[in-house]
Amino acid sequence: MRTILAGQEAGRRQESPLVCPYPRTSILRRAWIRGYARAHGRSQRGRTTTSAASGNVRPVYAAAGRKVINVG
């Protein structure tokens, strides 16, 4: 739960998803990204999607220039 909240906080601050402190293979990374996507999705309506069942994160569009950042 703390990991999801940390991701949400980063999403609210509109930080890059690349600041995630967990390695790519960690289940904690998936939780952090899920929290990030929820918060970032609220601030960037329609640009961020996640699959809650699988935890897969689709591309996140940066606020400036709609550049795609792969975070999964």
Cβ atoms of 3 and 34 within 8 Å: the answer is no
User: What pLDDT was estimated at residue 54?
Assistant: 52
pTM of the model: 0.56
Structure confidence at residue 14 (pLDDT)? 87
Compute how many other C-beta atoms are within 10 angstroms of the C-beta atom of residue 8. 19
Residue ranges of domains in the chain: 2-63
User: What digits encode the pLDDT tens for the residues 56-66?
Assistant: 555 555 555 55
Return the closest-CA partner of residue 4 out of 50, 37, 26. Answer: 37
Given a contact cutoff of 8 angstroms between Cβ atoms, the answer to whether 37 and 50 are in contact is yes
Specify the pLDDT at position 28.
95
Using one digit for the tens of pLDDT, what is the confidence trace for 5-58? 999 999 999 898 899 999 999 999 999 999 999 987 765 554 444 444 555 555
